[in-house]
Structure 1
């Protein structure tokens, strides 16, 4: 009879644990409602991480309670763990550091799922974060697993959170360019960027800035409104073609690498001796 009661209680504990395990899924109604109440978006990694923590705790408690029902001494287990606590602590140091790093990433939110990030060790799209590591899909389509402790200690550039994308360069024109034509071209180029709806009007700089040995430099500094890489490149291409058209209409040539050679010829005197 005692064995039957233990079996019934164990089955009840397992069923209850299994139910809690299913309820704690990241896609469950309970966690989705919590996510909506605290204003998390679909890209947030907090709910999946919380789901994994709850499921881990549920499994540990379920095994512990069922073991207690069948006479396994929890106190003995704890005492046995205490004997090797130093070895366990040393072995778990790296794992604990990765878990704490994951918590830091979750709480500080330097990135979310789907973000394009760059660190000294990896660059790509964030796919997932687990207890020990984060998974980054590189642009070569390989999957890189980075320990959370390493990721949390590195500077992280989140390119997906740019409000606008920078374009800057120095355009080198011929050294003998006419001053009036150069000034007219500079004004036209600046006005062209101001009138382009794809360019952020907050910061647009087009200035004749540099005197070089073989060219004159026009400095460009502005931002595209789009941060999508392919769209940004398309805008940049259109701007480059428009710049070439303005220079052509103003009769200004681009500078080419040149080398000047000066030869100094000394006068030679021929002395003819008299007879």
Structure 2
């Protein structure tokens, strides 16, 4: 009989294949049939919401809040024997609720994973999540959820068998919470939201008491701090204390509220509903702390910049402070939306794309802002400095957030974007500690060797003797013979507070050098390509002979200061010249005008 049935089934299957195959071939040849893509199979929803750890905990809290303990037991991993006994399942659920009321705590709903895989960033095995704990004077139980399905089946998160065994092993006979012993029966029987009305009243009272207690503790702490910390009464100390007072008070209020309500035995249903509010208050307290610290740092930095006269840095500090506050507000909104259960992933993605588009559109603006920050940080130039940027020379008049303005010697204003300025080569003349004096003289070819020796000695003597020339060995060297002159190069440094003073000293040195050249009997050479249409002034033979006598006398007395000067002679020459010269106006002279 069985064999006949199998043959009949095979025959029917063969007939079906023969009938359907020509239809498929005809459809392919005619092109009339369209292939359909298979849609992905959607995971069926679980009526109890046990697909994720978040759904399991929320469903269990709702079940015990409705006092539907039989439904609450469906969130437990039970043996077949225990599952068949309805009374056993109800007893386990009631025991679980009683332990949670006495000292249990679930993680806030927003922190629990809402994905079927659960949390994968913890140190637990895959498919296991820690969702809370129970801690009393006698017991300590960790509350774990386990995914009971394999990879081919939809997720099913239940309280683990170890957690249920620990709950069954807990001895709660005769134990009552503080509220069960204190509250009258009327406040325990009457319920609001499936919670005794007395618990709601205690929550309101504890909110007020914890707030007042935290204020008292903060007041005592500040009083002791002012006695211990000497700078507490200063402006800076008061600003720091004020910045931390409100956030710390909010944190302290939350900690006291959570601890006291858990110890007093407030229903887990109430505490779980308040968990989102508590975390929100913690986030707000942290944001307020960041806001106040931003104000403190901004105020302190601006005060220092004003004292140092760095007005351009003040605007940058204000801009950074406002940008930081905007970031704090945006981060706070995103964090709070995430806590209350709003999916901010799409919003963050859109914000990221918008930020990229904004950055591309405002690329030059951002480049200039970054350039201004680097200018303020490195300080290659300041307002009032005379500098050269590439081929532009001028005095810095202002350093803004977008550009820097220079006033050129022609009294025109040049505006340079800070992005371009930060990438340019900047030469700042205002920071020079000395000014170079580097004239190059070309003497006539008729200059005698003794005249050249005289010039080298006297020119160097002048540099040693002048009080405004830096006390370093000046260089006066006969460096070569060109086609039309004898070349002497001079290198020295002038001590002056600014460019104008250095030019005054340079002018005095050049005039004195011209006197020495005229006294030597020679003169400066004209370029050979110059055509003279006047009578040439002959070389003074008398002066040349006189100079030769002087140089001869130096040689006889071993006083020729070539190639180096005698240190004793250098000391004799130092500051022996009166500057300004005789007959010059002296602004420092003590004259009283009546």
User: Quick check: TM above 0.5?
Assistant: yes
Cα drift, residue 121 of structure 1: 5.1
Give the aligned partner of residue 50 of structure 1.
317
Greater shift in the superposed pair: 117-126 or 76-85: 76-85
The structural deviation recorded for 1:55 is: 5.0
Residues 236, 121 of structure 1: alpha-carbon distance in 2 compared, 3 angstrom cutoff = closer
Q: Which has the higher contact order (CA 8 A, sep 6+)?
A: 1
Work out whether residues 172 and 217 of structure 1, in 8 Å CA contact, stay in contact via their aligned partners in 2.
Answer: yes
Report Cα offsets for 1:103-159 as digits up to 9, x if no partner. Answer: 111111212222112111532222222222222222222222211111111111111
Question: How is 1:3-22 mapped onto 2 (pairs within 5 angstroms)?
Answer: none
Distance in 2 (CA, whole Å) between partners of 1:254 and 1:217 is: 10
**1:132 and 2:402 matched:** yes
Three-state SS of the structure 1 residue aligned to 2:463 is helix
**Higher Cα Rg: structure 1 or 2?**
2
Return 51-60 or 145-154, whichever deviates more: 51-60
How many equivalent residue pairs?
Answer: 228
Contact preservation (8 Å) 1:203, 1:221: no
Aligned partners of 1:240, 1:134: CA distance in 2, in Å? 37
SS in 2 for 1:161: coil
Q: Distance in 1 between matches of 2:491 and 2:311?
A: 34
Selected match of 1:110 from 380, 383, 392: 380
Deviation at 1:228, TM superposition (A): 2.0
> Closer, same or farther in 2 for the Cα pair 1:53/1:138, shift >3 Å?
farther
Whether the 8 Å CA contact 1:206–1:219 is kept in 2: the answer is yes
Q: CA deviation at 1:227?
A: 5.1
C-alpha deviation, 1:85, in angstroms: 4.1
Q: Deviations over 1:173-217 (max 9, x none)?
A: 111111112101210110111111111122411111111122101
TM-score by length of 2: 0.34
Distance 1:257 1:109, change over 3 A: closer
Alpha-carbon distance in structure 1 between the residues aligned to 2:310 and 2:386: 12
Question: Where does structure 1 lack aligned partners over 5 or more consecutive residues?
Answer: 1-19, 66-74, 260-275
- After TM superposition, the structure 1 = structure 2 runs for residues 1-275 of structure 1, keeping only pairs within 5 Å, are 31=301, 33-35=303-305, 41-43=308-310, 45-55=312-322, 84-120=354-390, 122-226=392-496, 228-258=498-528
> Which residue number in structure 2 is paired with residue 268 of structure 1?
none
| Shift of residue 86, structure 1, vs aligned partner | 4.1
Q: CA deviation at 1:245?
A: 0.6
Q: Which has the higher strand share?
A: 1
After TM superposition, the score normalised by the length of structure 1 is 0.69
Do the aligned residues in 2 keep the contact of 1:224 with 1:235 (CA within 8 Å)? yes
The two structures, once aligned, show a CA RMSD in angstroms of: 3.5
| Cα distance in 2 for residues equivalent to 1:208 and 1:55 | 64
Shift of the 82–147 alpha-carbon distance from structure 1 to 2, 3 Å rule, reads same
- Does the CA contact (< 8 Å) of 1:203 and 1:223 recur in 2? no
Q: Is the 8 A contact 1:169 1:220 kept in 2?
A: yes
Q: Secondary structure at the match of 2:458?
A: helix
Per the TM alignment, residue 169 of structure 1 is displaced from its structure 2 partner at its CA by: 2.2
3-state SS, counterpart of residue 105 of structure 1: helix
Question: Could you tell me how far apart the structure 2 residues matched to 1:44 and 1:186 are?
Answer: 51
Q: Which runs of 5+ in 2 are unaligned?
A: 1-291, 333-343, 530-594
